[in-house]
Amino acid sequence: MEKHGKIRYRFMNAYLFATVFQKNQEALKDLIAALLRIELKEIVSLEILNPILPGQDIDHKSCIMDILVLLNGNIRVNLEMQVLDEGNWNERGVYYLAENLLDLKKGEDYKNLKTTVQIGILDFDLWKFGKNPFYQVYELWDTEHDRVFTNKMKLCVLSLRQAEKAEERERQSGLYDWAKTLTAETWEELQELSEKNEKIKEAVETMITLTEDERVRIECMRQEKAERDWINAMNYATEQGEERGEARGMKMGIQKGMKQERENTLKLVAKMSQNGDTEYIARLMEPEVFEQMAAKYGMKA
């Protein structure tokens, strides 16, 4: 690897993440094995169920950049790289988990239900209060008798921001090396990690090859722009929500007006972003636009 300094397009770019690991399935197997805490040899087969072509034109504001795979013909694993904290990830993760469970055909025996695993690779803390583990697995649990209710569904969370706080036993794991690879900002970091794991080296080489393609670089830039637009929209919503709340609070004599209006506006902007109504966000200060969007999404104007 003859590269030095800052990495222009990192694995944290959701588009590049999906493209690299769909292109290099051996590296994907190693990453999944680390996430599931199994031996690499246990993954006999891997099929990608939602393939994208490198450089394929994508609507980054509405397209989900997850990697959905079928392991060994009977385990569905969905990997999601999530950089932005859009709120309610707990519920979102459960929704995707349930959605991927629904693969039985009408009349098919329930025993054929495939094990489904939803994996969130998050660059933010899932829990706003209390401890955020480096890696955590959630299952349906019988709290009365301390046992797993079913092994057919799991929700796993890798907290990238907690890598530096990982326990020593976790630092010795392949998952820790993958976490450091995904968050690496310099080529020197990737070089060091590549020397420890051949599959990481292969993933890095695939990343270099793909980003030499102008079409791939354009899609990486579009992914970055979509993320910046979301951040700007949320900042705008915060400012405008405060202004609307101040005005309403002064008029009605309610001290909580500003806080409540801000929360309502943020919720509305989040729903508009998810459904592609981003062109109206900048016009939310117009009363008729705010009322129209609030009515559309079932919120009180």
Question: pLDDT tens digits for 59-116?
Answer: 545 446 799 999 999 999 999 998 887 777 888 888 888 888 887 777 888 888 899 9
pLDDT at 110: 84
Give me the pLDDT at residue 62, please: 47
Q: Is the pTM of this model over 0.85?
A: no
- Is 203:27 a contact under the CB 8 Å cutoff? yes
pLDDT tens digit sequence for 163-202: 999 999 999 999 999 999 999 999 999 999 999 999 999 9
CB 194 within 8 A of CB 30: no
Residue positions counted in the chain? 301
φ, ψ of residue 141 to 5 degrees: the values are -130, 135
pLDDT value at 28 more than 50: yes
- How far apart are the C-alpha atoms of 301 and 155, rounded to whole Å? 36
E runs forming strands in 203-257: none
